[in-house]
Chains A and B, each alone.
Chain A
């Protein structure tokens, strides 16, 4: 095991991720994992520093957690999952004696507040509104389409419906007609409504230290919710300078001193950038793994460096590679959803498995044979990983996976 350097920072990780723990075991920072009790046995068994905590409980005990961590000598808390972002904000405001950090984390947790803040700061966003019930959704759908000068009977332009505080695609619906509105359950409100932007959607991963971007990655979506790869194609990378400008704006507007952000943008045909949303935690869809494959650096260790108040600029400079130039190839992954209503077994299609770009999959055999109907963009059943030199070939390969059955 890597020896720990007591001169460097001591970090608390909020959330349980074996990949992250593995990265920390191999890193020189002291760490402690704060996670629910069910993980405790595994932690004890493998000698992982552990504090048991129930994040689902109300916030009234968060001060207790901050005190516990402070007494241990922890310098900073790092959120791994959407649900732990405001916990990290609350803890860090105590550890760093900076109450602003809690408010900042609240912005990251509420998609509507986030958009307003961006808009106030002069960042371009689409039309959006908050919906408290079904009628709000119908009204927004009508108003948006009126604005677009559609007549009754013309096919509607879709709108997007997103839960306020869920990660990524969870609870994200595309609404085209009042019928779609009827399918929304009461408990999905309140929610955020957005107009649809015709453009190229992509995500950015940015490590920030001292208000400066330390490393910026562009993740190209092939199909939203299905597939992503890094580094992006040259066609998207040509916007890198513009994108960097946008991220610097975000840093200003959201007052980000340090940490890691994961925003999503649209770029329209004329090169205009629209801000979608931003998260203050590692992305889902395992972009960290893809970056490790493409660049060879460990993104979780990078996360720790970006949060650690004791990390130096020299250390950061030595850690990060040069974007694009240092990539050994392009790494992508595809999220599998069963295409059939009834499935009995996992079967990797031969055309996937025999492709030279295919690496491995993390698909689980089906637990039950009936597939729940997908109403919103939901959770995939696992990821399939690819790696290769040609980004266009990789993109087409990822696209082709959508037509294949992984569950029979």
Chain B
């Protein structure tokens, strides 16, 4: 009998389990750590048993109370990140894998029962699990990569079983829907780097193939279909993803009308999603090579503005496409289209700067960095030109990657938005001399001679321009910090204008006292921000240049996480009449929950692509540094004291809790 056999093998494991659990649960806080390892070992044995998950599930709460998570990152479930679960589950250390499994079971129990955990609402738990499942669909579908199979790990089978169990418990439907929504949410921020988005879309495509029957809600299906087709079959001639060669043959055999339809189909998919299919690159190269160059503007989906720009600079644009747009770097087509729409080519130095870029020869060091980040598919020069197209086209799409370099990413975004000529000059310095020279209060700082800054290595998970420039900027930023270290105030007072540009306001406002870290004249700080930026209090003056600002970032519980650099782009009324601050966050995903109901919006509240926004008061409650141009004198309409009180309370409830 199978059952009795399994009982027979399960009961000794459970006996050890109960013994170790009682040791762990009675241990004092000092002793917990010595029992966690053996607890995880018995959990591991249980997980490997066919009946193990069922036996473990009812014991999860007891495990949690016994302190299995005590002293680890898993102790506060609300701050766990679904994106990291997949990697943890693939780690070699079985104890860590076992701990992650228990954590997932804890989320599952919270998802099922609203009252189970006050700190973990079931809605949040469901959302978390849905994202974990969405990001690990390959394991659920059994579509392991060959590389995974080769280095199979001890708990792989158990983890797959656990994920399937979770999936069975909370349902497929939500997962794919959630994943599709997630992809759309990210794409609406128009990130420059879309590789992870592409891999999620691939997961969706695989899942729809496998689970075709159960995946039925038409809305989700439609949203998913648009994503998949934008990548793998945006137009009639490549609908079934026939391969680039076949597509090119088909183009060669098509008449003008068909090519015209292809061009507008490509443009539609590109602007709809922000994703560019490799077929699109093939199409653009084909029309340029075969004398159908007149179709380029249609294939880029240009408006009148863009079209005019294109006609004025046709030779340049064609050369940019020739160098930058290949299968593998197809996204550059979107960058080119958006550059044309921005009209920045009309600024006298831009076109010559771009010609300089096209003719530049990279130093071996630049080539090596680009190759190590992107591999050998396209040449480093092609990568870099493509990267410049993307950054100039989508200045707010840049992200810092997993690097502590928000200052540098913000600077690149500001220059791309505000001073592209300067950006191209910096880039030329770096690519021809492996150095960037900037001046701090008249003193030249040469990045080639400076020690490393915040990032110890060249970032590999960033866009091409960042790969080349960030190491230099980061060093200069750090050096500026060293130069002002002795001054008794926040270094950004001097660094921000010197690093970013003359347009950064020289009047500096900070909410905390540097020496004590306590709030200082906070009400005045709030009032000053209104008179500097709020159109109803500053004489209706718009934000003229993007302005650097400092944010006290808080987590979804409102607890202080750290200081972060952003830039204020504009302040305006949204469609429902709420005054909002629209800003750029160099963090890779701006849609963050900062607690107390302050959820940063990235779409639907009047944001331009790439902008994040918050109502003015909510934004102010997380602000701690801003610059002002110093032109305003007396405010004609004073700020309501109640309004200041509301903002002060929001701050005091969260990051400023221990600072007053």
Interface, chain A (partner B; CB < 8 A) = 1, 18-19, 21-22, 25-26, 42, 46-48, 293, 353-354, 356-362, 365, 385, 387
Q: Are the C-beta atoms of A26 and B19 separated by less than 8 Å? A: no
Q: Are the C-beta atoms of B16 and A21 separated by less than 8 Å? A: no
Output the nearest chain B residue to A21 by Cβ-Cβ distance: B30
Q: Are the C-beta atoms of B37 and A21 separated by less than 8 Å? A: no
* 10 residue pairs A–B, Cβ–Cβ below 8 Å: A18-B31, A21-B31, A25-B29, A46-B29, A353-B45, A360-B16, A360-B20, A362-B38, A385-B38, A387-B16
State how many angstroms separate the Cβ of B634 from the closest Cβ of chain A: 54
Q: Are the C-beta atoms of B28 and A1 separated by less than 8 Å? A: yes
Output the nearest chain A residue to B48 by Cβ-Cβ distance: A353
In Å, the complex CA distance between A361 and B16 comes to 12
Q: Are the C-beta atoms of B12 and A356 separated by less than 8 Å? A: yes
From known contacts A359-B20, A360-B20, infer whether A25 and B31 are also in contact, taking CB-CB under 8 Å: yes
From known contacts A353-B45, A356-B12, A387-B16, infer whether A18 and B37 are also in contact, taking CB-CB under 8 Å: no
From known contacts A359-B42, A360-B20, infer whether A48 and B12 are also in contact, taking CB-CB under 8 Å: no
In Å, the complex CA distance between A385 and B15 comes to 13
Point out the residues of chain A lying under 8 angstroms from B31, CB to CB.
18-19, 21-22, 25
Point out the residues of chain A lying under 8 angstroms from B29, CB to CB.
25, 46-47
Q: Is B308 located at the chain interface by the 8 A CB criterion?
A: no
Which of A48, A293, A360, A365 has the most chain B CB atoms inside 10 A of its CB?
A: A360
Within 8 A of A (CB), among B396-453: none
Q: Are the C-beta atoms of A46 and B41 separated by less than 8 Å? A: no
Output the nearest chain A residue to B31 by Cβ-Cβ distance: A22
From known contacts A25-B28, A357-B12, infer whether A18 and B33 are also in contact, taking CB-CB under 8 Å: yes
Give the contacting residue for B30; candidates A46, A293, A353, A357; CB below 8 A: A46
Within 8 A of A (CB), among B316-351: none
Q: Is B26 located at the chain interface by the 8 A CB criterion?
A: yes
Q: 0/1 per residue, B110-148, Cβ < 8 Å to A?
A: 000000000000000000000000000000000000000
In Å, the complex CA distance between A322 and B218 comes to 72
From known contacts A359-B16, A359-B20, infer whether A22 and B41 are also in contact, taking CB-CB under 8 Å: no
Q: Is B484 located at the chain interface by the 8 A CB criterion?
A: no
In Å, the complex CA distance between A143 and B29 comes to 57
Question: Is the interface on chain B under 10, 10 to 19, 20 to 34, or 35 or more residues?
Answer: 20 to 34
Q: Are the C-beta atoms of A22 and B30 separated by less than 8 Å? A: yes
State how many angstroms separate the Cβ of B316 from the closest Cβ of chain A: 57
Q: Are the C-beta atoms of B41 and A21 separated by less than 8 Å? A: no
Point out the residues of chain A lying under 8 angstroms from B37, CB to CB.
360, 362
Q: Is B27 located at the chain interface by the 8 A CB criterion?
A: yes
State how many angstroms separate the Cβ of B246 from the closest Cβ of chain A: 47
7 closest Cβ pairs, A-B complex: A22-B31, A25-B28, A356-B12, A360-B38, A46-B30, A359-B16, A360-B41
Q: Is B635 located at the chain interface by the 8 A CB criterion?
A: no
Output the nearest chain A residue to B20 by Cβ-Cβ distance: A360
In Å, the complex CA distance between A362 and B20 comes to 13
In Å, the complex CA distance between A361 and B31 comes to 17
Point out the residues of chain A lying under 8 angstroms from B256, CB to CB.
none
Q: Is B34 located at the chain interface by the 8 A CB criterion?
A: yes
In Å, the complex CA distance between A47 and B31 comes to 12
State how many angstroms separate the Cβ of A244 from the closest Cβ of chain B: 30
Point out the residues of chain A lying under 8 angstroms from B12, CB to CB.
356-358
State how many angstroms separate the Cβ of B15 from the closest Cβ of chain A: 8
In Å, the complex CA distance between A72 and B628 comes to 61
In Å, the complex CA distance between A26 and B28 comes to 7
Point out the residues of chain A lying under 8 angstroms from B28, CB to CB.
1, 21-22, 25-26, 46
Q: Are the C-beta atoms of B41 and A18 separated by less than 8 Å? A: no
In Å, the complex CA distance between A358 and B38 comes to 12
Point out the residues of chain B lying under 8 angstroms from A353, CB to CB.
45
In Å, the complex CA distance between A357 and B15 comes to 10
Point out the residues of chain B lying under 8 angstroms from A354, CB to CB.
9
Q: Are the C-beta atoms of A361 and B30 separated by less than 8 Å? A: no
State how many angstroms separate the Cβ of A364 from the closest Cβ of chain B: 10
State how many angstroms separate the Cβ of A388 from the closest Cβ of chain B: 8
In Å, the complex CA distance between A216 and B28 comes to 28
Q: Are the C-beta atoms of A19 and B34 separated by less than 8 Å? A: yes
Q: Are the C-beta atoms of B16 and A22 separated by less than 8 Å? A: no
In Å, the complex CA distance between A387 and B15 comes to 10
Q: 0/1 per residue, B30-63, Cβ < 8 Å to A?
A: 1101100110011001000000000000000000
In Å, the complex CA distance between A32 and B38 comes to 27
State how many angstroms separate the Cβ of A299 from the closest Cβ of chain B: 13
State how many angstroms separate the Cβ of B50 from the closest Cβ of chain A: 13
Within 8 A of A (CB), among B1-37: 9, 12, 15-16, 19-20, 26-31, 33-34, 37
Point out the residues of chain B lying under 8 angstroms from A362, CB to CB.
37-38
State how many angstroms separate the Cβ of A152 from the closest Cβ of chain B: 54
Output the nearest chain B residue to A298 by Cβ-Cβ distance: B26
Point out the residues of chain B lying under 8 angstroms from A22, CB to CB.
27-28, 30-31, 34
Output the nearest chain B residue to A347 by Cβ-Cβ distance: B154
Which of B15, B20, B27, B28 has the most chain A CB atoms inside 10 A of its CB?
A: B28
In Å, the complex CA distance between A169 and B38 comes to 26
State how many angstroms separate the Cβ of A367 from the closest Cβ of chain B: 14
State how many angstroms separate the Cβ of B505 from the closest Cβ of chain A: 45
From known contacts A360-B16, A360-B38, A361-B41, infer whether A18 and B30 are also in contact, taking CB-CB under 8 Å: yes
From known contacts A356-B12, A359-B20, infer whether A18 and B42 are also in contact, taking CB-CB under 8 Å: no
Output the nearest chain A residue to B42 by Cβ-Cβ distance: A360
Output the nearest chain B residue to A329 by Cβ-Cβ distance: B15
In Å, the complex CA distance between A220 and B27 comes to 28
Q: Are the C-beta atoms of B19 and A293 separated by less than 8 Å? A: yes
In Å, the complex CA distance between A22 and B24 comes to 10
State how many angstroms separate the Cβ of A210 from the closest Cβ of chain B: 30
Which of A22, A42, A358 has the most chain B CB atoms inside 10 A of its CB?
A: A22
Within 8 A of A (CB), among B533-591: none
Which of B15, B16, B26, B93 has the most chain A CB atoms inside 10 A of its CB?
A: B16
In Å, the complex CA distance between A19 and B26 comes to 12
Query: Besides the contacts A18-B33, A359-B20, A359-B38, what 19 more A-B pairs have beta carbons closer than 8 Å?
Result: A1-B28, A18-B34, A19-B31, A19-B34, A21-B31, A42-B30, A46-B28, A48-B30, A358-B12, A358-B16, A359-B19, A360-B16, A360-B37, A360-B38, A361-B38, A361-B41, A362-B38, A365-B93, A387-B16
In Å, the complex CA distance between A205 and B131 comes to 55
State how many angstroms separate the Cβ of B33 from the closest Cβ of chain A: 7
In Å, the complex CA distance between A343 and B143 comes to 33
Point out the residues of chain A lying under 8 angstroms from B16, CB to CB.
358-360, 387
In Å, the complex CA distance between A279 and B183 comes to 67
Output the nearest chain A residue to B34 by Cβ-Cβ distance: A18
Output the nearest chain B residue to A23 by Cβ-Cβ distance: B31
Output the nearest chain B residue to A355 by Cβ-Cβ distance: B12
Point out the residues of chain A lying under 8 angstroms from B20, CB to CB.
359-360
Point out the residues of chain B lying under 8 angstroms from A21, CB to CB.
28, 30-31
Which of B31, B42, B45 has the most chain A CB atoms inside 10 A of its CB?
A: B31
Output the nearest chain A residue to B93 by Cβ-Cβ distance: A365
State how many angstroms separate the Cβ of B8 from the closest Cβ of chain A: 8
Point out the residues of chain A lying under 8 angstroms from B41, CB to CB.
360-361
Point out the residues of chain B lying under 8 angstroms from A365, CB to CB.
93
In Å, the complex CA distance between A360 and B16 comes to 8
Output the nearest chain A residue to B41 by Cβ-Cβ distance: A360
Point out the residues of chain B lying under 8 angstroms from A356, CB to CB.
9, 12
Output the nearest chain A residue to B32 by Cβ-Cβ distance: A22
Q: Are the C-beta atoms of A25 and B34 separated by less than 8 Å? A: no
In Å, the complex CA distance between A13 and B395 comes to 64
Output the nearest chain B residue to A289 by Cβ-Cβ distance: B23
In Å, the complex CA distance between A26 and B25 comes to 12
In Å, the complex CA distance between A358 and B44 comes to 13
Point out the residues of chain B lying under 8 angstroms from A385, CB to CB.
38
Q: Are the C-beta atoms of B19 and A25 separated by less than 8 Å? A: no
In Å, the complex CA distance between A361 and B37 comes to 9
Output the nearest chain A residue to B12 by Cβ-Cβ distance: A356
From known contacts A359-B16, A362-B38, infer whether A25 and B45 are also in contact, taking CB-CB under 8 Å: no
State how many angstroms separate the Cβ of A26 from the closest Cβ of chain B: 6
In Å, the complex CA distance between A365 and B15 comes to 26
State how many angstroms separate the Cβ of A381 from the closest Cβ of chain B: 14
